[in-house]
Amino acid sequence: MNFQALQTKIEKATKRAFIEMFEKHADEGIYSFALYSDEGAMTVCPATNTLDFINNLSEDEREDLPYCKFEPAEWKYEMIGADDDLEFNL
Protein backbone atom coordinates (compact mmCIF):
# COMPACT_ATOMS: atom_id res chain seq x y z
CA MET A 1 0.00 0.00 0.00
CA ASN A 2 1.26 3.46 -0.88
CA PHE A 3 0.79 5.33 2.40
CA GLN A 4 1.87 8.67 0.93
CA ALA A 5 -0.90 8.42 -1.67
CA LEU A 6 -3.39 7.40 1.03
CA GLN A 7 -2.35 10.36 3.19
CA THR A 8 -2.82 12.74 0.27
CA LYS A 9 -6.23 11.26 -0.55
CA ILE A 10 -7.40 11.56 3.07
CA GLU A 11 -6.12 15.14 3.32
CA LYS A 12 -7.94 16.22 0.15
CA ALA A 13 -11.15 14.43 1.14
CA THR A 14 -11.03 16.01 4.61
CA LYS A 15 -10.75 19.48 3.12
CA ARG A 16 -13.69 18.74 0.79
CA ALA A 17 -15.75 17.42 3.69
CA PHE A 18 -15.10 20.53 5.77
CA ILE A 19 -15.90 22.88 2.88
CA GLU A 20 -19.07 20.92 2.08
CA MET A 21 -20.28 21.10 5.68
CA PHE A 22 -19.44 24.80 5.94
CA GLU A 23 -21.31 25.59 2.72
CA LYS A 24 -24.40 23.66 3.83
CA HIS A 25 -24.50 24.40 7.57
CA ALA A 26 -22.54 27.56 8.42
CA ASP A 27 -25.75 29.27 9.52
CA GLU A 28 -26.14 26.64 12.27
CA GLY A 29 -23.04 27.85 14.10
CA ILE A 30 -20.43 25.22 13.32
CA TYR A 31 -18.01 25.04 16.22
CA SER A 32 -16.28 21.68 15.71
CA PHE A 33 -15.03 19.50 12.92
CA ALA A 34 -13.30 16.18 13.51
CA LEU A 35 -11.84 13.36 11.52
CA TYR A 36 -11.68 10.06 13.35
CA SER A 37 -11.29 6.35 12.73
CA ASP A 38 -12.42 3.09 14.29
CA GLU A 39 -10.12 1.02 16.48
CA GLY A 40 -8.96 -1.05 13.51
CA ALA A 41 -8.23 2.05 11.42
CA MET A 42 -10.40 0.70 8.61
CA THR A 43 -12.65 3.74 8.31
CA VAL A 44 -12.16 7.48 8.11
CA CYS A 45 -15.14 9.46 9.37
CA PRO A 46 -15.73 13.21 9.32
CA ALA A 47 -18.01 14.77 11.90
CA THR A 48 -19.29 18.31 12.38
CA ASN A 49 -21.17 19.78 15.30
CA THR A 50 -23.17 22.97 15.60
CA LEU A 51 -24.28 25.33 18.32
CA ASP A 52 -27.88 24.95 17.09
CA PHE A 53 -27.69 21.22 17.83
CA ILE A 54 -26.29 21.78 21.33
CA ASN A 55 -28.71 24.60 22.14
CA ASN A 56 -31.74 22.58 21.05
CA LEU A 57 -31.14 19.36 22.96
CA SER A 58 -34.12 17.98 24.85
CA GLU A 59 -33.96 17.77 28.64
CA ASP A 60 -33.22 14.06 28.42
CA GLU A 61 -30.44 14.67 25.89
CA ARG A 62 -28.95 17.39 28.12
CA GLU A 63 -28.02 14.66 30.60
CA ASP A 64 -25.58 13.47 27.95
CA LEU A 65 -24.28 16.96 27.13
CA PRO A 66 -20.58 16.05 27.40
CA TYR A 67 -21.07 13.29 24.83
CA CYS A 68 -23.14 15.50 22.53
CA LYS A 69 -20.53 18.22 22.81
CA PHE A 70 -17.21 16.38 22.78
CA GLU A 71 -17.75 12.92 21.20
CA PRO A 72 -17.68 13.14 17.37
CA ALA A 73 -19.74 9.94 17.01
CA GLU A 74 -22.60 11.76 18.79
CA TRP A 75 -22.43 15.00 16.80
CA LYS A 76 -25.18 16.38 14.60
CA TYR A 77 -23.45 15.56 11.32
CA GLU A 78 -21.54 12.35 11.90
CA MET A 79 -20.17 10.46 8.88
CA ILE A 80 -21.44 13.21 6.58
CA GLY A 81 -19.30 15.14 4.13
CA ALA A 82 -17.24 14.15 1.08
CA ASP A 83 -19.01 10.79 1.20
CA ASP A 84 -17.57 9.41 -2.03
CA ASP A 85 -14.10 10.77 -1.34
CA LEU A 86 -13.82 9.11 2.08
CA GLU A 87 -14.61 5.61 0.82
CA PHE A 88 -11.24 3.87 0.89
CA ASN A 89 -10.25 0.29 0.29
CA LEU A 90 -7.73 -0.28 3.05
Tell me the C-alpha distance between 85 and 21, whole Å: 14
Q: What is the mean pLDDT of residues 27-42?
A: 89
Tell me the C-alpha distance between 26 and 19, whole Å: 10
Mean pLDDT for all residues in the chain? 88
The two beta strands, 77-78 and 30-36, are unpaired
Residues 67, 13, 20, CA angle at the centre, nearest 5°? Answer: 70
Closest CA to 48 of 35, 62, 38, 65: 35
- Quote the pTM value: 0.81
Residue 83's pLDDT is 65
